[in-house]
Structure 1
Amino acid sequence: MTFSHSIKSFDELTNHELYNMLRLRSDVFVVEQNCPYLDLDNKDQKSFHLLYYVDNDLAGVTRLLPSGLSYNEISIGRVVIARTHRGLGLGVKLMEATIAGCEEKFGKAPIRISAQYHLSKFYQSLGFKEQGEAYDEDGIPHIEMLRA
Structure 2
Amino acid sequence: MELTFKVKRFNELSTSELYKILRLRAAVFVVEQDCVYQDIDNKDQSALHVIGYKDREVVAYTRIFDAGHYFEKASIGRVVVSQNERKFGYGHDLIKESIAAIEKHFNTKSIKISAQTYLKRFYETHGFTQIGEEYLEDGIPHIGMIRE
| TM-score tier (shorter) | over 0.9
Q: Residues of 2 paired with 1:122 and 1:116: CA distance?
A: 10
Q: How many residues align?
A: 148
CA contact (8 A) 1:134 1:141 kept: yes
The CA deviation string for residues 94-145 of structure 1, in whole angstroms up to 9 with x for no partner, is 1001100111110123000000000000000000000000000111100000
CA distance in 2, matches of 1:124, 1:2: 23
Partners in 2 of 1:134 and 1:7 — Cα distance? 31
The equivalent of 1:65 in structure 2 is: 65
TM-score, length-scaled by structure 1: 0.97
Distance verdict in 2 for CA 1:4–1:130, change over 3 Å: same
Give the unaligned 5+ runs of structure 1. none
Q: CA deviation at 1:54?
A: 2.1
Query: Is this contact kept in 2: 1:127–1:147, CA < 8 A?
Result: yes
Secondary structure, counterpart of 2:88 in structure 1? coil
SS at match of 1:114: strand
The residue matched to 2:72 in structure 1 has which SS? coil
Q: CA deviation at 1:93?
A: 0.5
Letter in 2 for 1:68: G
Give the 3-state SS of the residue equivalent to 2:36 in structure 1. Answer: coil
CA distance in 1, matches of 2:143, 2:101: 23
SS, match of residue 69 in structure 2: coil
Deviating beyond 4 angstroms after TM superposition, the runs of 4 or more aligned structure 1 residues are: none
Is the Cα–Cα contact under 8 Å of residues 2 and 55 in structure 1 kept in the other structure? no
State how far apart, in whole Å, the 2-side matches of 1:128 and 1:2 are. 24
> What residue in structure 1 maps to residue 81 of structure 2?
81
- CA RMSD after TM alignment: 0.8
Answer whether contact 2:117 2:143 (CA < 8 A) is retained: yes
Instruction: Render the CA deviation track for 1:74-111: whole Å, top value 9, x for unaligned.
Output: 00000000012111011111100110011111012300
| Equivalent in the alignment of 2:122 | 122
How far off its partner does 1:42 sit? Answer: 1.1
